[in-house]
Amino acid sequence: MKLALILSLVLLGTVSSLHLRNEIIKLEKLEEVDTQTEESNMPERGEALTSADSSSEKKEEATELVSAAEDKNILEPKKEDAVYVLGNPGFQTVRYVLVTQLKTFSERFCQQSYRGNLISIHNSEFNCKLENLIKEINQGRVWIGAHTNSWVRKQKFKWIDRSSWDFSYWATGQPLFGWGCCVAMCTNGSGWRRTSCHWSLPFICSY
């Protein structure tokens, strides 16, 4: 009887031990699964952050590119908007360009884009050459480099490149009855007119 009882207790202990071991194994497997799940999720979070950072960088880069493109458009006209012409040999101004983009009095543009100035005109031959150049564009006037520092009617005009004022070709009534401190050439060949410097017109740069 005692032997049977002892055997029963031994068997019960063995079964309990096996059950306990099985439970421990199950728990270990569950922990491994949880660990793997966490580890597999971590790169995804990292990737999500990296993707967000990358998106942010792309936006900043795009903004910079847009800004660069805008600066470039300010400083460099498109090829189709510029007509390059060689001047007459022996003249101080050998090259000039007609820019058909519309801008206010554009001396700064000429300086930054071509390291030059708005065109100055010193004889009738060159004036006629420019009139022939601009007569086909769809604008009434084109900026040249003449200006004055005052609205006074009898104020003297000068060239913005500081060359001598030795020639003029004013339209009828100009400059006495005109207004504006800047000067534009009429595309119909009628002469030069005082014009508000804030008007947006094509222009001619010498360089």
Domain that holds residue 12: 1-75
161 and 92 fall within a common domain: yes
Higher pLDDT, 201 or 23: 201
Same domain, 71 and 140: no
* Residue 92: pLDDT band with limits 50, 70, 90: low
Same structural domain for residues 70 and 90? no
Nearest-angstrom CA–CA distance, 74 and 101: 10
Question: Residues 197, 97: one domain?
Answer: yes
Give this prediction's pTM.
0.60
End residue of a domain, out of 75, 100, 116 = 75
Residues 3 and 102 placed together within one structural domain of the fold: no
Backbone angles phi, psi at 206, to 5 degrees: -110, 150
The H-assigned helical ranges of the chain are 2-75, 107-114, 124-134
Distance, CA of 113 to CA of 103 (rounded, Å): 13
Q: Average pLDDT for residues 17-27, to the nearest whole number?
A: 47
Tell me the per-residue pLDDT of 31-58, one tens digit each, with 9 for 90 and over.
444 434 333 333 333 333 333 333 333 3
Residues 172 and 85 in one domain: yes
**Structural domain ending residue among the three candidates 18, 43, 75:** 75
